[in-house]
Structure 1
Amino acid sequence: MKEYTAWHIARLRDRLARYRAVETINGRARPWVTVASDIFVTEGLPESYFDSEGSDEVLAEALRRFVDGQQVPKTERLDAISLFLRSKGYFHDEDIQETAGDYAAALALSSFFQSASISPQEITGVFTTSRKEGRAGSRVFTLEIAPTDRAGLQRLLETIEYNPDFVMNERIYMPGRLRTHAGYRKEQLEGWLVRGDKSGLALVQDRLHGSRQVFVVPYGAMTENPDESFLVVMKLAGFAPSEPIQGIGRERATMLIAQVGEWAYANTWNYRLRPPDAERGR
């Protein structure tokens, strides 16, 4: 391709992550050096690419950094990744339309939420939270919100890091530390945050599996003091009564309301702002 847009790059990143996770070796994610070797044997790669590319190890590290969102490869590498994923059936023209469709949905929601008299509060930055999971595990959430050229519409990316054997307090969160423990897993969600005058909705998609979800952002506070800046996020999922409801009519509705309240509380998260100049591990 002559030019890669943000949509192309996002889809290539997603599909490369999916290939590595699906095409396992002995039940484990495909090593990056093996993925690099897979790319090198793709039919149709031009000789100029081999002349400009380094070793398997060099390409493997570039692929890892690409999927982790740390860098965007040069055009020649993007061409090779695109050709490789197409040859394996992991990347299609429909993927581009899928992403554009998500943006169109966010734009429509933005028009519904906002009016000319409303100037929604701008919320951007990196926010984190964490929860203990199981007897000895923890899950750490990093939410990145970036502005767009449209007021009230922002790009959203959430990275979820999980380890079953290490409890990590969000206050001492150090990116990458969970990776040193066996059983480490990482998930990523991406989408759009649409802000109204007092609240917002986020349309998000699992980058690996394609599942979709809605986040409600009922409140956010952005102040000059980072310690007082936070987001309240409700991650909506299907609701089902935790136990059979024996009542009928109004009594049954009242009992369900109580369970819905418990469900909403369990799915509500408090994210704290992490300013760029924060000390490591804070």
Structure 2
Amino acid sequence: MDRLAAGRAADFILARPIAHRGLHDIAKGIVENTSSAFQAALDHGYAIECDLQITKDGEAVVFHDETLERLTQAAGRVKDLTAAEMKQLAIRHSQDHVQTLAELLEQVAGRVPLIIELKSHWDGEERLAARALEVLKDYPGPHALMSFDPDAVAAVRRLSPQTIRGIVAERAFDSYYDALPLAKQIELRTFSHVERTRPDFVSFYFDELPWAPVSALRASGKPVITWTIRSPQQAWRARRHSDQITFEGFLA
């Protein structure tokens, strides 16, 4: 099953550059992870990367941050609001409101690949993975789930082995990771989770490539995506060590 999944991943992940959180441009009132950003990506034929958070009542909503302040006029945490409350929130500098995953799927309707990141609180919680898989169960379009958190990727593997899954990663020496248990930090820094996550692809920070664990997976046939590419010059650099780019700020 894993080998078949890897083949399918290569087919659609390699096909089109991936618009980071949609093809957003705040100067035009098109903000990340919104219906307008996804429509712009659709109009250009790009694959779409987006982020999911879990709500108080267990719904998957398209939103990057754990908290509301940067992107809306509200305050607090996504996980403390219901889906209905999230959908009422207007996105700053735009005409858009927060979408659910189901609404995103309806909008995209299989026209381009979806590369969907499960945002994690690093607490072993599997509700978001389970809900995303439930919503995606009958979706016919090309799609994949990924996460920085190996536990979330392992959950996807266990709950739905046939779903394409990936690990989002960097070398994990940023201070952000200091709050994690040491064993988790080591797992991230050595890619020792691979035996349990069995990712079909890797999405890796472009400025930290090449890196031996990623190069080894690529040599074994796993596609490597690089993020976040912000110029044609970066795209050229990234292509030397990867197979596809996640980009923003220009037309790839």
TM-score, normalized by the shorter chain, greater than 0.5:
no
Instruction: Report the structure number with the largest CA radius of gyration.
Output: 1
